[in-house]
């Protein structure tokens, strides 16, 4: 049985850990509020951009520009680009492992094709570096700053657009955690390229275009891809902070339960020690009579 000193040492250690997890929970809660506000603010823009692109495609349907645009080219999927968005740090429950499992399942389902990974986040980079051979790029420290920035997203999107335009890859997918609420996030694999446009006649253009619709569409498509990458990074950052806050809250509560159990055990050991000492005193007094 552990001594009283050892139990007290363990209680102090768990209390120190509890203070750390409680502080990390508060930090994650503050970050989550800002990240959640940015995600909510970005969603209407993304929805409107998608609507505009669809209307432009409908207005420009049948033109040579639409038919020959490199971001609309459809080819047999022999070389697939998969963008995997994880975090740079852990301590967030199953946040990173769930995305990695999703990417693994995608790779297995496309075992007959070549899957090339674009890794966003240190956790995904560290995992796939030892288990996968085809990479197009890796980007770390994207989520270590105070907030997700648009400039890295544009640079990543330009590289993806360039590879697809040069037919180095035949399609582009993204695996990411979408933020739903503080307690839940949604694992998503979304196709980015070629851009999925509505069939002819399914969308009605509600705009009067000052410039030709096909020219506007050619300029809007790269922006559409940039926005997809940036929004995925925002969604992942919000989902990560929610997962980390939940994990640290659970760790804090678990530490409290461990402290209670150790305190009860310490009291029992101390009571047993006191009882033993009383028995020794009584036995000594009885022996002297």
Asked if residue 223 has pLDDT above 60, the reply is yes
Contact 117, 136 (CB under 8 A): yes
CA distance 273 to 48: 73
Beta bridge partners of 231: none
Distances in whole angstroms, Cα of residue 3 to Cα of each of 16, 25, 190, 263, 269: 20, 33, 57, 13, 8
CA distance 216 to 190: 24
Percentage of the chain beyond pLDDT 90 is 38
pLDDT digits (tens, 9 = 90+) for 47-85: 888 888 878 777 766 666 666 778 888 888 899 999 999
CA distance 229 to 82: 12
**Domains of the chain and any CATH numbers:** 4-23+247-283 (1.10.287.80), 40-246 (3.40.1380.10)
pLDDT digits (tens, 9 = 90+) for 195-216: 877 665 555 556 677 777 777 8
C-alpha angle 110-111-112 in degrees, rounded to nearest 5: 90
- Model pTM score: 0.86
Q: Which of 236, 209, 285, 190 is nearest to 98 (CA)?
A: 236
Its sign, for the CA torsion 216, 175, 39, 226, is negative
3-state SS class at 174: strand
3-state SS class at 132: coil
**Average pLDDT of the residues in 269-280:** 78
């Amino acid at each position: 049985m552990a001594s009283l000193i050892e139990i007290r040492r363990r209680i102090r250690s768990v209390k120190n850990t509890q203070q750390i997890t409680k502080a990390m929970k508060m930090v994650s809660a503050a970050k989550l509020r800002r990240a959640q506000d940015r995600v909510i603010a970005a969603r209407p823009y993304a929805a409107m951009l998608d609507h505009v692109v669809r209307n432009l495609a409908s207005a420009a349907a049948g033109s040579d520009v639409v038919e020959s645009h490199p971001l609309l080219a459809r080819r047999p999927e022999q070389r697939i680009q998969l963008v995997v968005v994880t975090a740079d740090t852990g301590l967030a429950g199953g946040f990173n492992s769930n995305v990695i499992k999703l990417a693994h399942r995608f790779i297995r389902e496309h075992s007959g094709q070549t899957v090339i990974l674009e890794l966003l986040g240190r956790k995904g980079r560290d995992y796939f570096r030892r288990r996968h051979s085809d990479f197009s790029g890796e980007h770390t420290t994207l989520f270590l700053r105070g907030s997700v920035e648009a400039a890295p997203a544009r640079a990543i999107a330009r590289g993806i657009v360039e590879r697809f335009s040069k037919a180095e890859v035949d399609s582009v997918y993204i695996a990411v955690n979408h933020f739903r609420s503080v307690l839940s996030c949604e694992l998503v694999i979304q196709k980015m390229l070629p851009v999925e446009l509505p069939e002819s006649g399914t969308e009605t253009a509600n705009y009067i275009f000052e410039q030709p619709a096909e020219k506007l569409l050619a300029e809007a498509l790269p922006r559409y891809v940039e926005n997809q990458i940036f929004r995925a990074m925002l969604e992942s950052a919000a989902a990560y902070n929610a997962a980390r806050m939940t994990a640290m809250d659970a760790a804090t509560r678990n530490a409290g339960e461990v402290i209670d159990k150790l305190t009860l055990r310490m009291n029992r050991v101390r009571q047993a020690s006191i009882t033993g000492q009383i028995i020794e005193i009584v036995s000594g007094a009885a022996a002297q009579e």
